[in-house]
A and B are shown apart, each in its own frame.
Chain A
Amino acid sequence: MVSAMDRMSAQPPAAASSEGVNPSSQFRDARLAADIGGTFTDVALEALVAEDRHERWTAKVLTTPHAPELGVLEGVRTVLAKAGIAAGDVALMIHGTTLATNALIERKGARTALLTTEGFRDVLALGNESRYDQYDLNIELAKPLVPRKWRLPVPERLDNTGTVLLPLDEAALRALVPLLKDEGIEALAVGFLHGFVNPVHERRAGAILAEELPGVPVSLSCEVSPEMREWERFSTTVANAYVQPLMASYLGRLEAGLRQMGMAAPLFFMLSGGGLTTVATAARFPIRLVESGPAGGAIFSAHVARQRGWGKVLSFDMGGTTAKVCLIDGYAPQASRSFEVARVGRFRKGSGLPLRIPVIEMVEIGAGGGSLAHLDGMGRIQVGPESAGADPGPACYGRGGAKPAVTDANLLLGRYDPVSFAGGSMRLDVPAAEAAMARAIGKGLGLEGGMAALGVVEVVDENMANAARVHAIESAKSYEGRAIIAFGGGGPVHGCRVAEKIGVDRILVPSGAGVGSAIGFLRAPVGYEVVKSLYTRFARFDLDGVNALLAAMSEEATRTVAEGSFGAPTEERRIAYMRYVGQGHEIAVALPVRALVDGDVAAIRAEYDREYARFYDRPVPGSDVEVLSFAVTVATVVEAVEPAAEIADAPAPAPVRVQRVRDTATGEVADWAIYDRAAMPPGCRVAGPCIVAEAETSTLVGPGWACRVDGLGYLELNREAA
């Protein structure tokens, strides 16, 4: 399939690969990645086929929701057959899955109980006592994963310093055991107020439960998410417990299936935060895998940016139901600690279950090829978040979809060739798309089909551009001098217009864009992040306490990484989350990786003021600063990639045909040239407006843009001076 020069070093490092490699094989360092998504399971295989040349094979198979390992195994068999590599020759396998996410969305996890501080059994139900939509009287809030009858109070209480105000009532805890047994509880969570400051009661309760209920997994809040804010911490702990039995049995079946196939390679899991971890950690903290697919996409973009030596990019991944945007500076996606899963209110912030785990910071909105368009009460075009999904799909799929989707609008603008869509595997029904568009949009606004389609595409492009703008503001970053890396089925189609709207002049469409997340898994370091809360003010900085905490965190992260790094060199990063006393939002400040000394305190404070001014223009004089949490990350070193070499210009092939296409900025219809990407050699250049077509997507090169194939086979689009 795709073959590209790729000087990326083996990740994880050679020590790992040599273990599993059969020296008699013609391939070395064969690494597999599998990403289970909602619709498709993507598998990618890379192996060293010559001195410094990797080859890549990929497969896309339908996800098998009832037994997800079957899809993975089928995909693995398919790529191995394509490559002619035996299962036993695979050196390493990396896996990411939406299994935990789906269990949370569909509420198909374990019967879970929460043991919590007496007087606080409704923390999960009360949340922050607010509504995410002010005007919707029929609002639905996310229901807690644990019903009240299984949220069980236990007498105990700590204060904010961890001092025991009321000792743990062990007899009361044991008295709950018959109830837990009668109710058939399959997983247990323990969350006590201030339990992250002093875990003594949670640990003791965990030990008692393990003794009384052997075989029932126990998640402690002080281990799953040791951070201040009881709602978020309990919610994360409960979610971990809720998916744990399901993940454990899945992991067991997958390992057995792979072994049966003859694979002996170590299995790694992609974490939401962008690192890899072992089966043991994945089984203990399955909630940390929740966003592994999108994390893979961000790592993919970061790698592509590194290959091109571009220090500032926006990763733009537009699929069938959502679009994800993620800022990547210095080849490293931004880290975040908060995330929401299973939103019940149209992707609205606040309508899901809060999770406090390390994740890659990104914005996901309901804007994809399947997003449906309609007119609201004021005659305004609205697009998404409702999606046509795979069935019935957009109207043009001819499977009974009656509402117009973004794909229908793109078709009506002339952007797709109805007979060669998806590599010719599906003939698009233009009259069906026209009828749906006229019904939902055209009639109400008095617009003919092409202009109605233009309106739909402009609205979805504006929605994505707005999401990108907000993401930049929240990160205190700008789009000046930034490039977009566009992938997913829709990214290359919508990239130009989104770029124009946010003021970006350069876009890169890498190859392998259809399986970007799986490829990203192959680029991720083995890493682990520990986050813990310790409240301290700068005016009376608790140097000893902070040093002791950081040392313990460093030890924990190092130990976890050592399980999978096979002795490869690692690097450590330490971060303090700080704010002015009284403020609500923290800023991350890097700390030196060593024991802190007195002199560091002023330097860290000064660094905080600089970071604050970068975000918000001016520091605030006279305010003390407080630290809420610390993070320590240990990861294998990502080796530098040589920037892709400049290559000489090559002649462009002739277009395969022309199409009548409507430009969405001006509304003008003109003949656009259509090129076949496979026929375009590195170094060739074509001028917009034109479309570069391939099986998985089309790259739209708008008027005023030009497209050149780089030495890696990627499409680089540049906006010429306006």
Chain B
Amino acid sequence: MDALDLIQRQIQWNRLIAVVEEQAQTMIRTAFSTTVREAGDLSAGIFDLQGRMLAQAVTGTPGHVNSMMESVGHFLAKFPAATMQPGDHYITNDPWLGTGHLHDLTVVTPAFHAGRMVGLFANTAHIIDIGGLGMGPEGRSVFEEGLYIPIVKCFDRGTANETFFDFIRAGSRTPVELEGDIYSLCACNDAGARRLTEMMGEYRMEGLDELAAFIFDSSLKATVAEIAKLPPGTHHAEIRSDGYEAPVTLKAAMTIGADAITVDFAGTSGLSTRGINVPAAYCRAYSCFGIKCVVAPEIPNNWASLAPFRMQIPEGCILNAPHPYPVSVRHVVGQLLPDLMMGCLAGAVPERVNAEGASALWNPPLRGGAQVSGQAAEVEDFEVITFNSGGTGARPTKDGLDGIAFPSGVRTMPVEATENVAPVIFWRKELRPDSGGAGATRGGFGQVMEIGAKGDAEFAVNAIFDRVANAPKGRFGGGEGAPGWVGLDDPNGTVLRTKGFQVVPKGRHLLLKLPGGGGMGDPKQRDPALVAQDVADGLLAREAARRDYGWEG
């Protein structure tokens, strides 16, 4: 390759990343579901004709990382590239062919240049309602969890498949939003395809094969070079999660080789009867993310940069749920996987990993009105969810983050906005003092949230919370983060179950105490000025400062 070719390949790679970023931004701006437009729960990428991902938008959330990456191959298996036409759009929400639950829609669109198909665009988004029981753990099979869309054509050469849209509208509590979101998914793939053909025209490219080879070669070499910097060996880690009907153990043995990292999940608990099971693609997604953050954070996601991370997930364990097990809230277990990966990596590169954090999102799905109280309802019907997080684990040289999502990449919405879309009042939403695990670097603080309906009417929560019976652990002498707590604001401190549908009686508020992150290193080594600052800020009780940190103030 001559010098100019080399430089132009780099420019084209940059351009591809810009193209998929544009695809993701178009989705955020046009989406109807709050999960996409406010929370950013989506993913966008471009693929070659063999279904290998060339580039992925930085915008989006890790749960979709290589779960969407795998899905394009499934589309091509059902609809070979040779049969695809300009203006076609294909869709599915199959948890085992897409990204792990029915609420994620994946749309795949062929891209053409100069009359020939040159690649595919794919886009995944978490939509607000897909019928069934709604977002929550209560389903006993995937059939109860909502409308199941196999891989089908939703647009055929530019014409909407009206039969498909009829079914979609009939099957959702929010038909307008759902239909609007599908249109948005298709429109943003089109936007990507337009930019791609512009670039190919500018550089007089006939296909993407040479560029793909360049991207894959550079990415693989760079990833392998990063792996080679790690000391080889096998490391073990284990995490306990609260589970639904019984606690769940997640177990991993990570082997760092010369050019690959292999994780074996043998010893992990079996399946749950409820929707906390994790399809394998989702397990691979969050495991890869956890490893990549530590080992090769700067290398863009694509087929080759993710290839050296290999997962062996025994069939029948909770991280490899088969059809038709329920999987609706697979995030509550899956989002603990980066902590598990860092537990393994702590044995190899202790200076590069975090302590455990709250990790799984604390999203309270709230429902009220006649759906909960029947004819006694005092407020209009509502269904609303916010995205909230506890503290993240302490970092080697920095404290954990307070009330910030990790590993999820979602954002929350303003309380003022939530109170405008549903008759709820947030009486409290602030940091939870004394929740950050002690350490030389401290865990991030959790939050306290107190939520009622307007007029203190009756309402319900479909709980999906974890880290209540099993607190986030510290590392290297750091203390545990405070465990979570779910209950009512009554004088008895009534405790609610951490998972499942429960009613908050009239006159009462739901009280959530979100977990703090674990600490790292000996608390006695912490800079006393930082301890004093936490005390002054009202986030650390004086006696705890003296006891845990040996503070003399």
Task: Name A's B-contacting residues (CB within 8 A).
Answer: 119-122, 125-126, 128-131, 134-141, 147-149, 157, 159-160, 165, 193-194, 228-232, 376-381, 445, 447-448, 451, 454-455, 458-459, 462-463, 466, 469-470, 473-474, 501, 535, 580, 582-585, 615-618, 620, 622-623, 666-667
Contacts and interface: CB of A to CB of B under 8 A. Distances in A.
A141 B538 contact: no
B70 to A, nearest CB: 19
A141 B404 contact: yes
Interface in B1-34: 3-4, 6-8, 10-11, 13-15, 18, 21-22, 25-26, 28-34
Given A130-B409, A138-B397, A466-B15, 4 more contacts: A130-B405, A380-B10, A451-B4, A470-B18
A230 B416 contact: yes
B294 interface: yes
Interface in B369-414: 387-389, 395, 397-398, 401-406, 409-414
Contact of A473 (B25, B222, B417): B25
Interface stretch (B82-90, B175-183, B256-264): B175-183
A159 to B, nearest CB: 7
23 contacts: A126-B431, A129-B387, A129-B388, A129-B404, A140-B398, A149-B537, A193-B416, A231-B414, A379-B218, A381-B10, A451-B7, A466-B14, A466-B15, A469-B195, A473-B26, A473-B191, A474-B29, A580-B32, A582-B34, A584-B37, A616-B184, A620-B180, A623-B180
Contacts of A616: 29-30, 184, 187
B420 interface: yes
Contacts of B10: 380-381, 455, 459
Interface in B157-196: 174, 176-177, 180, 183-184, 187, 191, 195
Contacts of A451: 3-4, 7
Contacts of B417: 228-229
Contact of A131 (B33, B298, B405): B405
Contact of B414 (A229, A455, A473): A229
A148 B412 contact: no
Nearest to A136: B297
Contacts of B430: 119-122, 126
A470 B22 contact: yes
B7 A584 contact: no
B420 A160 contact: yes
B239 interface: no
Contact of A135 (B183, B219, B226, B297): B297
Interface stretch (B98-106, B136-144, B421-429, B493-501): B421-429
Given A126-B402, A160-B420, A378 B219 contact: yes
A469 B17 CA distance: 13
- Determine which residue in A130, A380, A451 has the highest number of CB atoms from chain B within 10 A of its CB, and name it: A130
A230 B218 contact: no
B424 to A, nearest CB: 10
A126 B18 contact: no
A141 B398 CA distance: 12
Contacts of B416: 160, 193-194, 228-230
B36 to A, nearest CB: 8
- Determine which residue in A120, A459, A580, A584 has the highest number of CB atoms from chain B within 10 A of its CB, and name it: A584
B454 interface: yes
Given A378-B218, A469-B22, A583-B37, A134 B62 contact: yes
Contacts of B299: 377-378
Nearest to A623: B176
Contacts of B4: 451, 454, 666-667
A128 B3 CA distance: 45
Interface in B287-344: 292-294, 296-299
Interface of B: 3-4, 6-8, 10-11, 13-15, 18, 21-22, 25-26, 28-34, 37-38, 40, 58, 60-62, 174, 176-177, 180, 183-184, 187, 191, 195, 202, 218-219, 221-222, 225-226, 292-294, 296-299, 352, 354, 387-389, 395, 397-398, 401-406, 409-417, 419-420, 425-431, 447, 450, 454, 533, 536-539
A122 B15 CA distance: 40
A128 B411 contact: yes
A494 B188 CA distance: 31
A582 B32 contact: yes
Given A137-B354, A138-B398, A119 B428 contact: yes
A378 B222 contact: yes
B183 A620 contact: yes
Nearest to A587: B29
A535 B538 CA distance: 36
A131 B404 CA distance: 7
Contacts of A580: 32, 180
A454 B411 contact: no
Contacts of A125: 402-403, 431
A376 B389 contact: no
Contact of B409 (A134, A138, A582): A134
Nearest to A473: B22
Contacts of A135: 292-293, 297-298
A580 B180 CA distance: 10
Nearest to B390: A129
Contacts of B536: 149
Contacts of B225: 377
B106 to A, nearest CB: 20
A474 to B, nearest CB: 7
A615 B28 CA distance: 13
B431 A584 contact: no
Given A447-B3, A455-B10, A137 B297 contact: yes
A473 B23 CA distance: 10
Contacts of A130: 40, 404-405, 409-412
A608 to B, nearest CB: 15
Contacts of B450: 119
Nearest to A447: B3
A138 B395 contact: yes
Nearest to B408: A130
Nearest to B180: A620
A583 B31 contact: yes
A584 B29 CA distance: 7
A136 B289 CA distance: 11
B225 to A, nearest CB: 7
Contact of B415 (A230, A232, A380, A585): A230
A283 to B, nearest CB: 29
B412 A128 contact: yes
Given A135-B292, A160-B419, A474-B25, A148 B537 contact: yes
B218 A584 contact: no
A98 B53 CA distance: 44
Given A466-B18, A470-B18, A473-B26, A120 B429 contact: yes
B222 A119 contact: no
Contacts of A140: 398
B389 A129 contact: yes
- Determine which residue in A376, A377, A448 has the highest number of CB atoms from chain B within 10 A of its CB, and name it: A377
Contacts of A131: 401, 404-406, 409
Nearest to A377: B222
Closest 5 CB pairs of A and B: A584-B37, A119-B428, A148-B537, A135-B297, A130-B411
B298 A469 contact: no
A231 B533 CA distance: 23
B538 A149 contact: yes
Given A149-B538, A458-B7, A469-B18, A129 B403 contact: yes
B20 to A, nearest CB: 12
Contacts of B427: 119, 157
A119 B426 CA distance: 9
A615 B26 CA distance: 10
B431 A122 contact: yes
Contacts of A454: 3-4, 7
